[in-house]
Structure 1
């Protein structure tokens, strides 16, 4: 999470949607950069609205706007899979030995799969009841997001390409992808609304 005090703007770091690159590029411009631990770095809109937003709004004398990125849902899950493969050595709680992407996607699509796998859903990160992040940009349309930030911050920005997961087979058969897309219906609907 990045807080831009003068602009009254907060970047919420959606997991697996380019947040590390954004934070790396903008940390020096932010009034506060919360990058560790992960629960604080990836504070969702619910946490922001209930805890962080009211506090910083009171200190700054006005409400802050929120901005975040959202990745195409199936591609987002592919990124999680690649991340888990790379992170397997350091994360014994999520062993990935011999787990294909098809199996990973199938596990995610099961009832309770997102929470059981510790991944969650993007819509739960970006929406809190009737409230949602003020500006959500599609990760796939990164230039529009950068243009928005440049306008808000009044400077030109360059984004590094970092935290790139390994290239692996993330193919799904059409039927498997259809099952996954149905399971991700709420994320799909939000993504289509952007």
Structure 2
């Protein structure tokens, strides 16, 4: 999470949406950069609302705006799948070694997800709060030019994004039936993604 105090902007880091590259490029420009622990670095809107927003308001910032990036849901799962194939996870319950992507997506759709498929939800991360706190600026991961233009204009910077935290390329094929089930069961994920710019 990056906080730009003068510009009244908080960049929430949705996992697997390229936030590490933006953090690397902008952390020295930010008033506050929350890099650890992961539960705070990747604070969802409900955690921001509960902990950070009240703190900001106590010191005079009652109109901070929020920014986030959302990724195509199947592509987002693909990034998690590839990340969890890395050798350092071998032998751990969260590893996707020996599992193909179709099985990973099927496991993600279960009510009681196995550890390797328990990766959260973009829709839940970005879910508006009952008090009206919500993401003010939501961009699709696939529309990097619009996101970069917004950031450059809002922060008066020129971005030079490094490649960071990139998972290895691999086959991410799912059957037509699995994709159909996923789109139906996870319709809220697509609804959020489609609401981004």
**1:87 shift after superposition:** 5.8
Change (3 A) 1:38 1:23: same
Q: Where does structure 1 lack aligned partners over 5 or more consecutive residues?
A: none
Structure 2 match to 1:9: 9
Q: Is the 8 A contact 1:88 1:94 kept in 2?
A: no
1:81-96 pair list within 5 angstroms? 81-86=81-86, 88-89=88-89, 92-96=92-96
Aligned to 2:38: 38
Q: Tell me if the contact between 2:94 and 2:116 (Cα under 8 Å) persists in the aligned partners.
A: no
- Counterparts of 1:107-118 in structure 2, within 5 Å, are 107-113=107-113, 117-118=117-118
Do structure 1's residue 135 and structure 2's residue 137 form an aligned pair? yes
Q: 1:114 to 1:98 in 2, by over 3 A?
A: closer
Secondary structure at 1:15 match in 2: coil
The one-character-per-residue Cα deviations of 1:36-77 (angstroms, maximum 9, x if unpaired) are: 111010000001111101111221343211000000111000
- Following superposition, the deviation at residue 168 of structure 1 comes to 1.2
1:65 corresponds in structure 2 to 65
Q: Does the 8 Å CA contact 1:4/1:31 hold for their aligned counterparts?
A: yes
Q: In the alignment, what sits opposite 1:188?
A: 190
8 Å contact kept, 2:140–2:193: yes
TM-score, with structure 1 as normaliser: 0.92
Distance in 1 between residues matched to 2:61 and 2:70, nearest whole Å: 29
The whole-number CA distance in structure 2 between the counterparts of 1:57 and 1:142 is 31
Q: What value does the CA root-mean-square deviation take over the aligned residues? A: 1.9
Give the secondary structure class of the aligned counterpart of 2:164. coil
TM-score, with normalisation over the residues of structure 2? 0.91
From 167, 174, 177, the counterpart of 1:175 = 177
Per-residue CA deviations over 1:86-133 (Å, capped at 9, x if unaligned) read: 265378231323111111000001224398833111011111345421
State the number of aligned residues: 194
Return 105-114 or 71-80, whichever deviates more: 105-114
Question: Are residues 181 and 113 of structure 1, via their aligned partners in 2, closer, same or farther at CA, if it must alter by over 3 Å?
Answer: farther
What SS does structure 2 have at the residue aligned with 1:60? coil
Distance, in Å, in 2 between the alignment partners of 1:95 and 1:156 is 38
